[in-house]
């Protein structure tokens, strides 16, 4: 009995992580193309609210998810437009948009606060659901969870094992070279922004129509998750498989926090809720510090044995962003 509870807890991590998977893979696609979409946090809030509102009004879940994807794509398009066509700072626009979409979500979502609405029914995968152990773990969820598995593998396969994926890597690494070979760099950057944005836009409704059903305004507990998604994108080394590992690890740690909380009465719940953020800083520090100049200088002064070990460790941890991430490309 105890075992089954534990297994169900683990299984919950996969369902609960589905929204972050969409956001992280979407952001990975966009950043692979060389653009940073900083508006993830607000996009998740706005699409969660809008997806829920539309589904509650029309009774159609499909429409809810569709509206989410559309909003996500529109926000990402706006960032691409202002950075590619208007040559404005993508970071500034992304930051403004993340605040704006958040406030829009709270303002427009006011009438839908705490309303009862539709929720995606669970749908157990035929045959696979009965596989011992794995069945409960992976295949007794709902459609969005299965879609999240698919998105991980499709994203990974697309980036690393197809010809368009190779071109995608090219426009993020060396856009000038890709352009010389006849690739319309900026058109593809628009395209991946919109596709990735639509994926990010699925994250919100997946919360509000499935794993955290409903809209509760500022206490929905969704604020901040977008920033987590952005840092997992870095942690994942712009690789959907590694990023998915990061998302599940994050989900596991959150679950652990919930399980352990009753045993740690001294720590108020608010503190555990923000525990991911120091973790995020620490992770980013670990994957970035190898790039710092003073670290190299310090390492050079160490005895050989230590130096080799530390160098290898830092290199293994190091994040290697697409070389032209955030750098606008201007065809001559």
Partner 1 sequence: MKREQIGLSLGLRLLAILLALLFTVMVLLLSGAPPLEAFRQIVLGAFGSYKRFTDVLVSWVPLLLVSSGLLITFTAGVGDIGIEGQITLGAIATTWALRLLQDSTLPPALSLLLATLAGMLGGAIWALLAGALKTFGGVNEIFGGLGLNFVATALTLWLIFGPWKRPGIGSMSGTEPFPQALWLPVLPGLRLSLWALVPGLLAWGMVFLLLSNTYFGLRLKAVGKNLRAAYLLGVPTWQHMMLAFLLCGALGGLAGSFQVTAVYHRLIPAISSGYGYLGLLVAMLVNFQTLWVAPVAFFFAALNLGSIQLPIVLKLDSSLSGVIQGVLVLFVLLLDGVRRRMERG
3-state class (DSSP) for residue 325: coil
First to last CA, the chain: 67
Q: Give the nearer residue to partner 1 in terms of CB position, either 103 or 130.
A: 103
Our finding on whether 5 is near partner 1 (CB under 8 A) is no
CA distances, 153 to each of 1, 160, 238 (Å): 33, 11, 14
Number of residues that bind partner 1 (CB under 8 A): 47
The one among 180, 271, 302, 313 contacting partner 1 by CB under 8 A: 271
Which of 17, 3, 294, 4 minimizes the C-alpha distance to 145? 17
The one among 10, 77, 95, 255 contacting partner 1 by CB under 8 A: 95
Our finding on whether 220 is near partner 1 (CB under 8 A) is no
Distance CA 9, CA 16 (A): 10
3-state class (DSSP) for residue 33: coil
The one among 131, 166, 258, 292 contacting partner 1 by CB under 8 A: 292
Q: Give the nearer residue to partner 1 in terms of CB position, either 82 or 193.
A: 82
Our finding on whether 323 is near partner 1 (CB under 8 A) is no
Q: Give the nearer residue to partner 1 in terms of CB position, either 42 or 170.
A: 42
Restricting to residues 241-270, name those near partner 1 by CB under 8 A: 268, 270
The one among 177, 273, 296, 323 contacting partner 1 by CB under 8 A: 273
Our finding on whether 291 is near partner 1 (CB under 8 A) is yes
Our finding on whether 62 is near partner 1 (CB under 8 A) is no
Q: What letter does residue 84 receive in the DSSP assignment?
A: I
279: left (phi over 0), alpha (psi -120 to 50) or beta: alpha
* 201, 47 Cβ separation under 8 angstroms: yes
The one among 28, 43, 47, 82 contacting partner 1 by CB under 8 A: 82
* 208, 215 Cβ separation under 8 angstroms: yes
In the bound complex, what is the minimum distance in angstroms from residue 285's beta carbon to partner 1? 5
SS3 breakdown of the chain: % helix, strand, coil, rounded to 5? 75, 0, 25
Restricting to residues 102-131, name those near partner 1 by CB under 8 A: 102-104, 106-111
Our finding on whether 164 is near partner 1 (CB under 8 A) is no
* 195, 70 Cβ separation under 8 angstroms: no
* 174, 327 Cβ separation under 8 angstroms: no
Our finding on whether 93 is near partner 1 (CB under 8 A) is yes
| Binding residues vs partner 1 (CB under 8 A) | 38, 82, 85-89, 91-93, 95-97, 99-100, 102-104, 106-111, 217, 224, 227, 230-231, 234, 268, 270-271, 273-275, 277-278, 280-281, 284-285, 288-289, 291-292, 294
């Amino acid at each position: 009995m105890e075992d089954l509870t534990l297994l169900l807890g683990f299984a919950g991590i996969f369902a609960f992580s589905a929204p972050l998977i969409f956001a992280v893979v979407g952001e990975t696609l966009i950043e692979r193309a060389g653009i940073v979409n900083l508006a993830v946090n607000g996009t998740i809030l706005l699409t969660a609210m809008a997806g829920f509102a539309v589904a509650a009004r029309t009774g159609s879940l499909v429409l809810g998810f569709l509206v989410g994807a559309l909003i996500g794509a529109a926000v990402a398009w706006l960032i691409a437009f202002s950075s590619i066509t208007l040559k404005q700072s993508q970071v500034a626009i992304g930051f403004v948009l993340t605040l704006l979409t958040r406030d829009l979500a709270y303002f427009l979502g006011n009438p839908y606060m705490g309303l009862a609405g539709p929720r995606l029914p669970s749908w157990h995968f035929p045959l696979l659901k009965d596989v011992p152990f794995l069945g409960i773990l992976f295949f007794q969820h709902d459609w969005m969870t299965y879609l999240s598995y698919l998105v991980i593998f499709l994203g990974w396969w697309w980036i690393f094992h197809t010809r368009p994926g190779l071109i995608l890597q090219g426009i993020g690494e060396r856009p000038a070279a890709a352009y010389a070979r006849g690739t319309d760099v900026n058109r593809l950057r628009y395209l991946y922004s919109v596709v990735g944005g639509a994926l990010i836009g699925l994250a919100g409704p997946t919360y509000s129509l499935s794993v955290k059903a409903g809209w509760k305004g500022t206490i929905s507990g969704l604020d901040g998750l977008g920033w987590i998604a952005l840092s997992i994108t870095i942690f994942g080394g712009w690789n959907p498989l590694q990023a998915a590992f990061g998302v599940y690890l994050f989900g596991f740690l959150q679950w652990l926090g919930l399980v352990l909380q009753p045993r740690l009465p001294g720590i108020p719940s608010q503190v555990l809720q923000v525990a991911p953020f120091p973790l995020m800083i620490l992770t980013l520090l670990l994957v970035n510090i190898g790039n710092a100049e003073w670290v190299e200088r310090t390492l050079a002064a160490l005895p050989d044995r230590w130096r080799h070990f530390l160098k290898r460790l830092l290199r293994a941890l190091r994040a290697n962003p697409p070389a032209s991430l955030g750098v606008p490309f201007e065809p001559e």
